[in-house]
Amino acid sequence: MAGRLAGKTALIIGATSGMGRATALQFAREGASVAIAGRRAGLLQELGEQIAAESGQAALGLPCDVQDREQVRGMVNAARAHFGRVDITVYSTGTNIPDRSLDRLTPDTWDLMVGTNLTGAYQCTQLLVPVLREQGGGLIIYLSTGAVKRADASGIAYQATKAGLDGIAGGTMAEEKAHGIRTCVIYPGLCDTPLVLKRPVPTPPEVMQHALQPEDVAEACLFVAGLPARCHVPDLVLLPSRL
């Protein structure tokens, strides 16, 4: 039986770990041709090998630092040249820092957070839009955080930059929907990813056992990506049921 994304192409940005990695694997299992992007070339190769072993198709690995505009331009051009089009993009890139509280945050670490979580999303979006216009449409999914909906101690830089994804997504949709371009922001709650290890105080095991898994977020991405182009999901909140 053909998968839900058979015949589609997907670009997963931030694919080397966590939610992005799980999403790349899930999309490939569902028949999508997948381009995987991230800073760590070794992990991209490892993921590509797993995708090939599971799905029988080769993933396109694209080393890219989203803070570097020319690298982003090269990533977008390479994906389009290889597949001919980019139907679905998932912006999964994001980071946080241990010294995240307001009294410890510095201008340098603030700039780091803005560059990765927000400027990277802006650059990817702006350079993707002409491609999506030319091909007659496409979908961009941004992975934010449930902390945007319910503030917590994850830090003002993390919450502010992840909240900014809503502005990028909503503004892009308003400007580009006539060209068939759709956007969606997914807000996952606590999820068992490597980002949790950057917390200044370890999360207790009894809490983590109820956390979301990256595969849960991948399923949410698949749901949105699998809908007909006539459908628009502006945002989707996904929280652990027992936290």
Would you give the DSSP letter of residue 96? -
Q: Which of the pair, 195 or 13, is modelled with greater confidence? A: 13
Query: What value does the mean pLDDT take over residues 198-224?
Result: 94
The two tokens of residue 14 are 């931030």
The two tokens of residue 151 are 């503030």
How confident is residue 7, by pLDDT bands cut at 50, 70 and 90?
very high
What is the residue extent of each domain of the chain?
A: 9-238
Q: What proportion of the chain, given as a percentage, has pLDDT over 90? A: 92
Query: What value does the mean pLDDT take over residues 26-39?
Result: 97
Residues in the chain: 243
Query: Can you name the CATH fold of 9-238?
Result: Rossmann fold (3.40.50)
For 107, residues 6+ apart whose C-beta sits below 8 A from its C-beta are none
User: What separation in angstroms does the CA of 57 have from each of 31, 162, 185, 241?
Assistant: 9, 33, 28, 35
Using one digit for the tens of pLDDT, what is the confidence trace for 174-190? 999 999 999 999 999 99
Q: What proportion of the chain, given as a percentage, has pLDDT over 70? A: 100
Q: Which amino acid is at 198?
A: K
pTM to 2 decimal places:
0.96
Distance CA 99, CA 225 (A): 35
Per-residue pLDDT at 220 exceeds 50: yes
- Counting other chains too, the contacts that 209-215 makes at CB distance below 8 Å and 24 or more residues apart are 210/240, 210/241, 210/242, 210/243, 211/240, 211/243, 212/188, 212/238, 212/239, 212/240, 213/22, 214/18, 214/19, 214/21, 214/22, 214/23, 215/22, 215/26
pLDDT for residue 53: 94
pLDDT for residue 207: 94
Per-residue pLDDT at 208 exceeds 50: yes
Query: What value does the mean pLDDT take over residues 125-149?
Result: 97
Kind of pairing between the strands at 88-91 and 60-63: unpaired
How confident is residue 225, by pLDDT bands cut at 50, 70 and 90?
very high
Helix (H) or strand (E) holding 108: helix 107-113
Query: What value does the mean pLDDT take over residues 57-79?
Result: 97
- Residue linked to tokens 């606590």: 190
pLDDT for residue 166: 97
- Residue linked to tokens 């991230």: 38
Per-residue pLDDT at 20 exceeds 70: yes
pLDDT for residue 1: 47
User: What separation in angstroms does the CA of 13 have from each of 18, 134, 206?
Assistant: 12, 21, 31
Asked whether 146 and 187 are in contact (CB, 8 A), the reply is yes
